[in-house]
Chain A
Amino acid sequence: MNDPDVLIDLDGITFRYGRELILDSVSLQVRRGDFVALLGPNGSGKSTLIRIVLGLLRPDEGEVRLMGRDLDEFNSWDRIGYVPQKATDLDPLFPASVREVVAMGLLTHKRWPRFLGTGDERVIDEALDLLEMRPFRKRQIWALSGGQQQRVFIARALASQPEVLILDEPTAGVDGVTQERFYDLLQRINRERGVTLILVTHDIGVVTKHVTKVACLNQKLVFHGSHSDFCESEQAITLFGPESHLICHRH
């Protein structure tokens, strides 16, 4: 019997690029309302795991169940929002306005041919309002700062009103003050709108103040539990060194 509160269920995921083992029997559950940090050093397999969850890569072994359904049968992609890592690496020739980028998030709800109506403009404005980006509606996306671009991509993901939002290294290349405001915003989305969040990061400082759970990956899942347990754990020291305790208890 499926537990309706388990939104993502990974069981024994193993993945290889050629002969190189990237993920080794990773099992992980994400429950409704969680704010999970998927932590791990560079090259630990975090982004690969996310791409498997999103159906962009197929695991060599193991099963992925989304909202109680096997990945191959899952088609409710409007329930999952995704903000990719490379969102800040935009082609300056691509003339998309902020409005057009957010509008892309509405496609999941539409049947072919997917035309947008006046009601959709309201949804776009609401998503932009939430991220405080409405004044930039007509601006070109590449002309915004890295932090502003990330907000637009989150607005795009939220436009489809997803139950789960997955963010892959969303603050890469963003300054410290903007990062802090950004994490506060994610916390608000998690608490006030009830959106389950998975934040892929190698920034251990995020853990203490913002998230409710930590999944620590280094080819295998080496830790999965609450953030306070993580800060006390040996795995934190093993993966991030003795200063991890200092970072964990700084706040």
Chain B
Amino acid sequence: MEILAFSFMQRALAAGVLIALACSVLGVFLVLRRDAMLGHGLAHVTFGGVALGLLMGVSPIWTALAVAMLSAVVLLKLRDAAGLHGDTAIGILSSVGFALGVVLASVSGRFSVELFSYLFGNILAIGMGEVWTSTGLAAAVVAAVVLNYHDLVAATFDHDMARTSGVPVARLDVLLTILSAVTVVLAMKVVGLLLVAALIVIPAAAALQVAANFRSAIFLSALAGVLSVVWGLWASYYLDLPASGAIVLLQALLFGAAWAAARVLRRGR
């Protein structure tokens, strides 16, 4: 295939598939816990981290990761200690993070083009170093989910029942929020911070329309995530479309197809 002859496309595919896998697997848990907007909120905060990295002259992925993970912990504290509702805490934190990014960008006044690539994504410009970083982080996310799979399912299904079964639900809340921060940072290069929530939420939402059990929901979500990235890159190359927009629109089509299939299946029962 002609598309695979280019090294930039090989890198985009490799990183995109791994990141989509991590986002879509984690997304199933977030959607079912009604934390779908967590990714969106953390993405806004991450914008501040990216701006900070560019201002300091270090790789934005690391400052973004540090800011996103710190914000994830603050978010949990705001929920628990301050007694705020989850969406209120996300609203406060995301606005503050984004405002920080806007101020830093304005103060330095010299990196708006690069900042734009993080806002809207630029997977075709991904470097080999970023591929390796993405591989390591995506593998860490998937491994964390696999190793805690049954605990995460139980805690997502019912917090109280899980606690009385000896499942460390408080620790899992922290783990899930930290993993969300990592996936947001990973996904920002693929679809950009403004569309990052799509990579986490839409494949999971599509899978949950048709899945017969939890295991199949995870598998279908991962499949939807990976297919959308592969098809999105294909569309980007052959139809000259922006990769991030193509990936998210294809995910929306997959969700529509899953929604329709679920209606047909239910009518047939």
Given A82-B164, A93-B32: A104 touches B213 (CB 8 Å cut-off)? no
Q: Does A140 contact B (CB under 8 A)?
A: yes
Interface size on B, residues (CB 8 A): 27
CA distance A116 to B154 in the complex (A): 13
CA distance A113 to B143 in the complex (A): 11
Chain A at the B interface: mostly helix, strand, loop or mixed? Answer: loop
A107/B208 in contact, CB under 8 A = no
Given A84-B160, A91-B32, A96-B153: A108 touches B166 (CB 8 Å cut-off)? yes
The B161-184 residues at the A interface (CB cut-off 8 A) are 161-167
Stretch at the interface among A11-19, A72-80, A170-178, A215-223: A72-80
Contact surface of B with A, Cβ cutoff 8 Å: 31-32, 147-148, 150-151, 153-154, 156-158, 160-167, 208, 211-217
Contact surface of A with B, Cβ cutoff 8 Å: 51, 54-56, 75, 77-78, 80, 82, 84, 86, 91, 93-97, 99-101, 103-105, 107-108, 110, 112-116, 138, 140, 156, 160
With both chains docked as a complex, state the minimum distance between the C-beta of A90 and any C-beta of chain B, in angstroms: 9
* Neighbour of A104 across the interface among B147, B150, B215, B216, CB < 8 A: B150
Given A91-B32, A93-B32, A140-B213: A56 touches B150 (CB 8 Å cut-off)? no
B160/A56 in contact, CB under 8 A = yes
Chain A residues with CB under 8 Å of B151's CB are 107, 112, 114
B157/A104 in contact, CB under 8 A = yes
Q: Which of B31, B32, B157, B211 has the largest count of A CB atoms less than 10 A from its CB?
A: B157
CA distance A94 to B32 in the complex (A): 7
With both chains docked as a complex, state the minimum distance between the C-beta of B238 and any C-beta of chain A, in angstroms: 35
A56/B164 in contact, CB under 8 A = yes
B154/A84 in contact, CB under 8 A = no
Given A84-B161, A113-B148, A114-B150: A93 touches B208 (CB 8 Å cut-off)? yes
Given A96-B157, A97-B213: A75 touches B166 (CB 8 Å cut-off)? yes
CA distance A234 to B217 in the complex (A): 55
Q: Which of B31, B150, B211 has the largest count of A CB atoms less than 10 A from its CB?
A: B150
* Neighbour of A95 across the interface among B148, B150, B158, B212, CB < 8 A: B212
Chain A residues with CB under 8 Å of B162's CB are 104, 107
Given A56-B163, A95-B217, A108-B166: A84 touches B158 (CB 8 Å cut-off)? yes
**15 more A-B contacts (CB under 8 A) besides A54-B164, A113-B148, A138-B212?**
A82-B160, A82-B164, A94-B156, A94-B157, A94-B214, A96-B157, A100-B215, A101-B157, A104-B150, A104-B165, A107-B162, A107-B167, A114-B151, A140-B212, A156-B161
With both chains docked as a complex, state the minimum distance between the C-beta of A80 and any C-beta of chain B, in angstroms: 7
CA distance A108 to B147 in the complex (A): 16
Chain B residues with CB under 8 Å of A101's CB are 157
Chain B residues with CB under 8 Å of A75's CB are 166
B214/A97 in contact, CB under 8 A = yes
Chain B residues with CB under 8 Å of A114's CB are 150-151
A116/B164 in contact, CB under 8 A = no
B166/A82 in contact, CB under 8 A = no
* Neighbour of B165 across the interface among A96, A97, A138, A160, CB < 8 A: A160
A105/B153 in contact, CB under 8 A = no
CA distance A82 to B163 in the complex (A): 10
A95/B165 in contact, CB under 8 A = no
CA distance A228 to B214 in the complex (A): 47
CA distance A55 to B167 in the complex (A): 13
* Neighbour of A105 across the interface among B163, B165, B208, B215, CB < 8 A: B165
* Neighbour of B161 across the interface among A82, A100, A110, CB < 8 A: A82
Pick 14 A–B contacts, CB within 8 A, sort by A. Answer: A54-B163, A75-B166, A77-B165, A77-B166, A78-B166, A82-B160, A84-B160, A93-B208, A100-B213, A104-B154, A107-B151, A108-B165, A110-B150, A114-B150
